[in-house]
Structure 1
């Protein structure tokens, strides 16, 4: 019985080490992907001072008008 318990414990330990290494690799890959992404890409969207000015630009450029409103802090994503 003791030998079986030792074998089981060794197998579980090896599995946990492999899983931890895999999880760390996955997390590091995700961190790198996020660092390389353009988090502030939304800041490149042209803004208009008024709804009328935005509508004119939308018609002139034949592009949709996107109305964005918020109540909060854009930097934290709470809007």
Structure 2
């Protein structure tokens, strides 16, 4: 089922990418920022570095290849 959905929406452009392309602000703080803030609230030492990096990348609006994105968020050059 997951693969079927992926096939159906694979060519779609996400609303966040549409916002970036239109020069609008994104919902990154609403989605990922909420996760980061909630983790900190629940546990003072809990961090979500992948989400923190993703927020920074979206806000910087620097285009990355899939390999570059994987390297920055996951620490390896393939995904």
Bucket of the pairwise TM-score, normalised by the shorter protein? under 0.3
TM-score normalised according to structure 2 size: 0.24
Highest Rg: 1 or 2? 1
Structure number with greater CO (CA < 8 Å, separation at least 6) is: 2
